Amino acid sequence: MAPFIKKVIILASILAFVLFAVHRLFFFTTGIWENVASTMTKPFITGAHGITKIITSWQEKKQSYKKLLRQYEQLKIDHDTMRMINIELASLVHYDTMSKELCEFKERYATHTMKLAKILVKNITDTEHYFLLDKGSKDGIQKNMVALYKHQILGKISEVYPAYSKVLLITDQNCKVAAYTQQTNAQGIVRGQNNKNRCNMGYVSHLYDVVDNDLVISSGQGLIFPEGFCLGKVQFHELKEKSLYHEIEVEPLIDLTKIDHCLITHNAITDTTS
């Protein structure tokens, strides 16, 4: 009987499971346990959905951030490239403008001895004022040649090397140039004061008249500086009581810190326009 009873129990169990499954699938109605279970699981389902949305949103933002970061890096590269191109173009325009102005000046005075030089180093300190140029003895540069910028004397060549040379500027305290004032023809010596905005004009007799803003012109006296080039304008002058000489300060017409090229010439210049 025992095997028969086991078979009956197994068959009854299978039949009960099938009936239960059919009932759940086709004739299901919620009961108390289903209601309790659904009430307990709803917060978890809602929370899981919210967490999923947060994670999805974070992943999307992360991807967007990475995309924006890549775009930013590319824009930065493009910006740096364009800035480099802009600098190159600006440099070419600047060089072209400066060179044209100097070449026009060179043509006006028409001398084959003038050489266009680039300023490599500018040293303007309390102790010394000089430029280093990209022209040297291999380019025909010699000591005591004169550096010019348009109508203004910059200084004289004080040292020469094969590939470069040194210009002692008129604002250096060791540079002296014989000069006169244009309007009153007051004769004197212009000497630097290691100040880029000021030179001193000394040995101007009290017998001369001096006026503000009068141009100071090189006189050509001596063996170095040519005649007829500007050194600056009278910025200040004073004649103290019983003094034999005027006290005169001369301001250069150009800012020495803002030029990049100059002309080098001997002290003898012929103006072919006359």
Query: pLDDT tens across 238-259, in order?
Result: 999 889 999 999 999 989 999 9
CA distance 139 to 133: 11
Say what the pLDDT of residue 39 is.
Answer: 63
- pTM for the model: 0.60
pLDDT digits (tens, 9 = 90+) for 37-82: 556 665 656 666 667 777 777 777 777 778 888 888 888 787 767 7
CA distance 166 to 174: 14
pLDDT digits (tens, 9 = 90+) for 129-174: 999 999 999 999 999 999 999 889 999 999 999 999 999 999 999 9
Q: Is the pLDDT of residue 274 over 70?
A: no
**May I ask the CATH class of domain 115-265?**
mainly beta
Q: Rounded mean pLDDT of 214-230?
A: 87
Q: Is 107 helix (H, G, I), strand (E, B) or coil?
A: helix
